[in-house]
Amino acid sequence: MNIQCIRIIVVACCIGYSVAAYAITFVPPIEEPDYGYCFIQNYVDVSSVHGGQDYYDHCRSYERHKGTDFRVSYAAMKEGVDVLAAADGKVLRTRDGMGDAYVQDGRYNVHGRECGNGVVIDHGGGWQTQYCHLKKGTVRVASGDEVKAGSVLGEIGLSGKTGFVHVHFQVTYDGKIVCPFSGKRLGRITKGVIGELQGAEVKSSLWQNDSCEILQYVPSQLLKVDYSTELPQSAREILQRSEAADTVQAGGVPLVFSAVTAMLQKGDVLILSLKTRSGRLVAEKTIHITSYTAQRFDYIGRKDSAMFAHTALEGSVELRRGNAQVFVHKSRVAVQ
């Protein structure tokens, strides 16, 4: 029961043409995986006041966030998702050797190395790009190497200070953060802090092809559903599990249906339900979202799975926004 985001796109489609005559333009910094989800989780914080604001004037950022986070599934990371140079240039520095783990697990000390395994490229004319959180042992370039747009730098991972699988892509011009979607320049970075927004000449997208699907502003996402006989303790626990089971073994253990969602908006209503094949309600939960939520996990179920032995159950996850249905996903599991 894999939740798939099917896209038939190759890197070449995103190198087609330039939307404006700037000193530099970029191709997307990742190659889309063959399966699973692939979208932008966070954007550059373009607000000079408290709180995060993306270039669409929405909440898809957080305070002082300096890059664009391209997110893929844990399963895709395990298979390997290439991180690509966004433009021609020379590699300034790299880091490799840091382990892959969710920062919440506290397995590694990342102080001073929050980027994790990464690459910095100098594109000339004051432009630089940085690529963070690459998978251990995958960095393919070294300081001084010349790269072309689309060259493989390494693979997406979980190294450094990160709570989800992604590559953090960061653009600077003369030491100032630039939002690649708007061209807006922010203040100079000083000891990890971004200064106030600056008036800038560049006020349009720096992407070579804005229509490339990976660059589109996507709505709220259902990342994964899962059936198990144990209560999940975190979203990352669910995301690291293999594909949702088609069957569960009944016995004196719970029956749990769980879901991980992302980018929910204030006022959204999330509904989880579990029913028998005949439509009898087994469990249900309705959650009213009170603020923007980057990621959350929820679950429902029954304490004793034995009462459902030799039956099939249907789990449903629905997100509603006002009178509109954002998504609904239904799946089935056989209880044996």
- The token duo for 144 is 């001084």
| Contact criterion met (CB below 8 Å) for 28 and 215 | yes
CA dihedral 234, 216, 3, 225 (to 10 degrees): 30
CATH, domain range 221-335: 2.60.40.2550
- CATH code, 11-215: 2.70.70.10
Task: Please name the residue that has the structure tokens 């229509």.
Answer: 211
Strand partners, 237: none
pLDDT tens digit string along 79-105? 999 999 999 999 999 999 999 999 988
pLDDT band at residue 59 under the 50/70/90 scheme? confident
Cα-Cα-Cα-Cα dihedral sign, residues 213, 80, 264, 114: negative
pTM (two decimals): 0.87
- Provide mean pLDDT across the span 45-56: 76
Q: Where are the domains of the chain?
A: 11-215, 221-335
pLDDT at 16: 39
- What the block records as the tokens of 272 is 């989880």
- Sorting pLDDT into bands at 50, 70 and 90, what band is 265? very high
Q: Indicate if the pLDDT at residue 219 is higher than 60.
A: yes
Work out the pLDDT band at 5, boundaries 50, 70, 90. Answer: very low
| Token duo for residue 250 | 């009944």
